[in-house]
Amino acid sequence: MEIERLLDILGNETRREILQMLTERRCYVSQLSEELNIGQKAIIGHLEIMERAGLLEPHFEKVEKGRPRKYFHVTENLMMEVNLFSSHFEVRLHSPGLDESILEEFPRLRELSAGLTEAALETGPAKIEYLNSVIEDLLVERRKLTEAKKTIDFLLNEAKGEIEEEAVKESLRKALY
């Protein structure tokens, strides 16, 4: 997906609300329309834009009375990162996935990944309890890594700022001497 296209889609509050709802559960047009208090025609327009972009996918389900309903669900797993510092600007789009080399670098993540595999062997309440424990541990690790990334980004910005400052000083020295 192109970054500009995703930014355009996310720039609309109604589309963000629709995406939020669809990450929580699959919905059909009249559900979205009713909960968001927006006309069905407008909802359909937003859904078509997101479907063409590959973010959503429809599927039909039979109902007791009447014709099948068209439900929508999110199909893409995307992460967008925006960094705006005094010395640089970047927007990156990622598709999350399991990278064995990262698991090698971060042993705790390897343990948690193994925990997911072990949880698959469980059933019923024990499985749910195990998965909730893994989720809780993963959230703790994500918070730690997010804080570490903030520090890294700050240090990168500082270093780039120093380089820029030195380049300006060097230009002035050359111009004056």
Judged against a pLDDT cut of 90, whether residue 111 lies above it is answered with: yes
Mean pLDDT for the stretch of residues 105-126: 92
Mean pLDDT for the stretch of residues 107-116: 93
| Residue 160 CA from chain centroid, whole number | 27
Q: Give residue 43's domain range.
A: 3-74
pLDDT of residue 173: 87
> Which residues, in sequence order, are CB contacts of 4 under 8 Å at separation 6+?
none
Q: Mean pLDDT in the chain?
A: 91
Closest CA relative to residue 26, chosen from 90, 70, 85 = 70
Same domain, 103 and 158: yes
> Which residues, in sequence order, are CB contacts of 90 under 8 Å at separation 6+?
81, 82, 83
> What CATH number did the domain enclosing 16 receive?
1.10.10.10
Mean pLDDT for the stretch of residues 122-147: 94
How far apart are alpha carbons 141 and 138 in whole angstroms? 5
> Which residues, in sequence order, are CB contacts of 95 under 8 Å at separation 6+?
76, 77, 78, 79
For residue 82, what are the β-bridge partners? 91
Whether 58 is in a domain gets the answer yes
The percent of residues above 90 in pLDDT, for the chain, comes to: 63
Mean pLDDT for the stretch of residues 113-129: 91
pLDDT of residue 37: 96
Mean pLDDT for the stretch of residues 74-95: 86
Any idea which residue has 């859904």 for tokens? 47
Same domain, 65 and 116: no
Residue type, 48: E
Whether 132 is in a domain gets the answer yes
Confidence of residue 29 (pLDDT cuts 50, 70, 90): very high
pLDDT of residue 66: 82
pLDDT of residue 175: 87
As given in the structure block, the two tokens for residue 23 are: 């990450």
Judged against a pLDDT cut of 90, whether residue 71 lies above it is answered with: yes
Whether pTM > 0.75 for this model: the answer is no
